[in-house]
Every structure is written in structure tokens, then in C-alpha cells.
Amino acid sequence: MKILVRAIVTGFGLSVGSYVFRKISSKYNLEPKNEPAPTPTPPASSGGDLARQPS
């Protein structure tokens, strides 16, 4: 029962903290800058039959 109460209180605290941060972040310019995500590089070509070993 004690663990359940702690989980509920922690969830409520995180929710309130998130709400407060969103409200004050625009006022104090705390929001991180939106940087473009790096483009993933395509995997190297395996050359087709290189995985097969000649017997």
C-alpha cells in the first residue's frame, strides 16, 4: 500500500512540475532550440554474394 501511495504522489508531482515548467519556460526562454535531426546514413552495401563462402 505504501508503494502505491508513493507512486501516485510521484506521478502527481511530476505532472505538476511539467505543467509549471511549460508555463514559465516561455517567459524565461528555457525551451531548448529545435535543431534538425541528423540524417541517418544508409547502411554500406554488402556486395551481394560476399556473405556466402565458397565450398
Contact 27, 21 (CB under 8 A): no
In a domain, 50, yes or no: no
Give the pLDDT score at 4. Answer: 93
DSSP 3: H
Asked if the structure places residue 38 within a domain, the reply is no
Q: Residue 7: what residue type?
A: A
The total number of structural domains that make up the chain: 1
Confidence grade of residue 53 (pLDDT, cut at 50, 70, 90): low
Is 43 inside a domain boundary?
no
pLDDT at 15: 95
In a domain, 55, yes or no: no
On whether residue 22 sits in a domain, the answer given is yes
Tell me if 27 is assigned to some domain. yes
Tell me, yes or no, whether 3 lies in a domain: yes
Mean local confidence (pLDDT), 28-46? 70
Q: Is residue 23 part of a domain?
A: yes
- Three cell numbers at 44? 554500406
Higher pLDDT, 12 or 29: 12
Which domain, by its residues, includes 14? 1-31
pLDDT band at 11 (very low <50, low <70, confident <90, very high): very high
Query: What whole-number distance in Å separates Cα of residue 37 and Cα of residue 28?
Result: 25
